[in-house]
Structure 1
Amino acid sequence: MESADDQGTDSGIDWISVLPTEILHNILSLVRIRTVVRMRRLSKRWRQVCKALQFICLTYREFQHWNVEKFARFVNNLLLLRARVDLHTFQLYWSHQVPLECNDVRMWIGYAVKH
């Protein structure tokens, strides 16, 4: 005789994807942004969830092995791919030892303020 737990795991249902978007956003807010961007590849549902993120937190530790140009392209693409939803949080934690292009930072801040 199968238990209810066995039936749920064998059914092939993706229980995470059927969660409401707000709950998925809360979960994704705890995940590194590079991982969130990779999750876009999972399905159309995940692509929509990731496009509608209301937070962007960029931390130097995640990108310290990238050159500045690659990081700037990543951020620019991230902002371009976002849907037209409110951005509640934009955080950029960067090392003062690795200078960013002021025009890029100014554009990102402008985007965050506008959205």
Structure 2
Amino acid sequence: MRRDVFQAIADPTRREIIHLLADRSLSLNMVADHFDISRPAISKHVKILTECGLIVIQQQGRERHCRADLHQLKEVSEWVENYRRFWNKKLDALEAFLDEDSKKKKRKK
């Protein structure tokens, strides 16, 4: 199944895993140690993040180390930016309307 980055960040545990790996590489065991859920559950979350391209896993000796690859979050950033522009435009229009309404009320006095 093909997953996307939005699916990956929808889960708070996966967001926390990304946060943990944002500035350092950790072994899978070290990642799992930060959570009160089972290691198989962590492995499932890591697998989803890997499928989405948000985590890269490298074998280092007997351990597998994870590191974040946050380039995929650009898609989320662009999506959010579209809505930020949309709402800024709507709020600017509301502000202009309210300013004009206020001026009209002052003129009537």
Query: TM class, shorter-chain normalised?
Result: under 0.3
- Of structures 1 and 2, the one with the larger relative CO (CA 8 A, separation 6+) is 2
Structure in which a larger fraction of residues adopt strand: 2
| TM-score, normalization by structure 1 | 0.27
